[in-house]
Amino acid sequence: MEATLSPSRSSSDRSPPDSTPLFEVSDLNVGFDTPDGAVLAVRGIHLALHAGETLAVVGESGSGKSQTMMAAMGLLAKNGRATGSVRYRGREILGLKAAALNEVRGAKIGMIFQEPMTSLDPLYTIGNQIAEPLTRHLRLSGRAARQRAVELLTLVGIPDPARRLDAYPHELSGGQRQRVMIAMALAAEPDVLIADEPTTALDVTVQAQIIDLLRTLQRRFGMGIVFITHDLGLARHFADRVAVMRHGLVVEEGPASEVLTAPRAEYTRMLLAAEPTGTKAPPPPDAPIVLEAQRLNVTFRIGGGLFAGPPLVIHAVNNVSVTLREGQTIGIVGESGSGKSTLGRALIRLIEAQGDIRLFGEPVNAIDAQSLRALRRQVQIVFQDPFGSLSPRMTVGEIITEGLRVHAPELDRRARERRAVEALEDVSLDPALRNRYPHEFSGGQRQRIAIARAVILKPRVLVLDEPTSALDRSVQKDIVDLLRRLQGAHRLSYLFISHDLSVVRALSDWIMVMRAGQLVEAGPTDEVFRAPAAAYTRELIAAAFGLDEAHAPAAARA
């Protein structure tokens, strides 16, 4: 890939911003007609992008950052209305008729989206799809477009591009699909690229590669990039300027170095402070062991049958041992498919595993169902998805007391109510809300409910499976604080499963790094982060904390 790129420009010859911005949003309002009346998503904002510059638009969900760009590209939903002005090189493009707009979008302004899995048409080969903007905007013939498509795939780092042209999207990985999306968006050589959370759905190491690619392409083509993200870390490493949005307004805008180091707006300060901080001290070495597993193995069989031949056996967890002490938090990190969630579930016997598991000293494979149930009460799990893991047909009170009916049948209704009130107070939710239904709560509140459902049983071990991944940063911080407080108050032990290294670093005192079902590295948190032993761990850390550093290992390998 490197060979095909022209020598990169140094950052010093980036042209200073001239008077007419390349792409400018001014006084933009975006509203949606809903059955409950009109909703304003964007309220009179101004943004400007100059050639060769990267502008990060940062905000939490619902801030209007995506809708601003959707409006600019004429991609609003049918009930959306945009007023104000969006100019490309001084020319108004908001409200253009489709035919006129289609001469600008795709040709002058390219856009890539968050969902690489669904943003390509599943029914056509990627060669066909990359050729479309080429024949449409550059008027290339079929043969020339195909030739150019190979070059573009080479440019975005797809191996064996000539053969890959005939692949369908479902035959590519998420990272590869995002590369193809980038190739399509850049096919007609636009001067503006709008990237809407282009790396959010990807694993961290892939994320770093995509950011790297965007940066290289930007230098090569001198594009301006509007980079929409919720991730301040990414904005800091990638953007020249940052605009922070909240409730449809730009609350602060300026050079990235200033906004993200010396923010003027209260909200920006809050966002920055919301990055999880702090560390956790390990438990005393003589703390009792609560959960122990020796050489745990989990295998899945796919297919197979009388005529289908032998099944495909997948080793999801391969000889992994865990020792969890009272008051300890073990962070289990890894990318999708690493087996970290499977390990967490196998440890509490939600799925079958081979190997010796002891809960509070008792071998769980050997005891009868009744004793196992008693042990289960002391081991609870909190899942990632706060929307899918709470039954929509039960009130919050019913949801959190359901476990008590099984594990403490001797309690009467009044006693259960009392426990529910305690549990909700424990997670800082108003107990008066317990007769409401889950859909009336925000994502963060729902995750609190899920935690209350676990702690009401007074467990000693909590398995937390990506409990903060679906949440905005500022809400994440609250959940992290809550987990810390609960651990202190109830002497809980946590198995904290996450792909988010910054949260893991703040919460755990021991880290296990997994990849493809194997344990890559394990050790005290500060040691693993300070001096990672495995190359893969170094790569993960570099990808998560410093995109610049991500070059080093990649270059060293090449």
Partner 1 sequence: MARYVLRRLLTAIPTLFLIVTLSFFLLRVAPGGPFSQERGLSAEVKANLERVYQLDAPLWRQYLNYLADLLHGNFGPSYNLPDFTVADLFRVGLPVSMQLGASALLLALIIGSILGILAALRQNRGVDYGVVALATAGSTIPTFVIAPLYQLVFALTLAWVPVAGWGGGALVNKIGPVLTLALPQIAIVARLMRGAMIEALRANHIRTARALGLTSFSVVVKHALRGAVLPIISYAGPAAAALLTGSVVVETVFAIPGVGRYFVDAALNRDYTLVMGTVVVIAVFVIVFNLLVDLAYALVDPRVRYE
Interface residues with partner 1 (CB under 8 A)? Answer: 73-75, 78, 98-99, 101-107, 110-111, 113, 115, 118-125, 132-133, 136-137, 168, 170, 181, 184-185, 187-188
Pull the structure tokens for residue 390. 């709470």
Q: Which is closer to partner 1, CB of 119 or CB of 395?
A: 119
Nearest to 55 by CA among 267, 235, 268: 235
Q: Which is closer to partner 1, CB of 96 or CB of 394?
A: 96
The CB-of-160 to partner 1 minimum distance in angstroms stands at 19
SS (H, E, C) 298-330: EEEEECCECCCECCEEEEEEEEEEEEEECCCEE
Strand blocks (E) in 150-263: 192-196, 224-229, 241-246, 249-255
Pull the structure tokens for residue 341. 């969630």
Q: Which residue has tokens 């967490």?
A: 344
d(Cα 178, Cα 2) in Å, to the nearest integer? 19
The CB-of-120 to partner 1 minimum distance in angstroms stands at 6
The CB-of-413 to partner 1 minimum distance in angstroms stands at 46
Q: Which is closer to partner 1, CB of 190 or CB of 339?
A: 190
The CB-of-121 to partner 1 minimum distance in angstroms stands at 4
The CB-of-519 to partner 1 minimum distance in angstroms stands at 35
d(Cα 251, Cα 246) in Å, to the nearest integer? 7
For residue 355, the one-letter residue type is: G
Pull the structure tokens for residue 106. 């795709």
Q: Which is closer to partner 1, CB of 110 or CB of 334?
A: 110
The CB-of-419 to partner 1 minimum distance in angstroms stands at 44
What CA dihedral angle connects 195, 196, 200 and 202, to 10 degrees? Answer: -50
d(Cα 558, Cα 553) in Å, to the nearest integer? 9
CB burial of residue 233 (10 Å; 0-12, 13-18, 19+): middle
Alpha-carbon torsion (182, 185, 190, 191), positive or negative: negative
Q: Which is closer to partner 1, CB of 105 or CB of 416?
A: 105
The CB-of-175 to partner 1 minimum distance in angstroms stands at 17
The CB-of-223 to partner 1 minimum distance in angstroms stands at 15
Q: Which is closer to partner 1, CB of 173 or CB of 365?
A: 173
Nearest to 540 by CA among 316, 206, 232: 206
d(Cα 403, Cα 127) in Å, to the nearest integer? 54
Q: Which is closer to partner 1, CB of 193 or CB of 290?
A: 193
Q: Which is closer to partner 1, CB of 97 or CB of 413?
A: 97
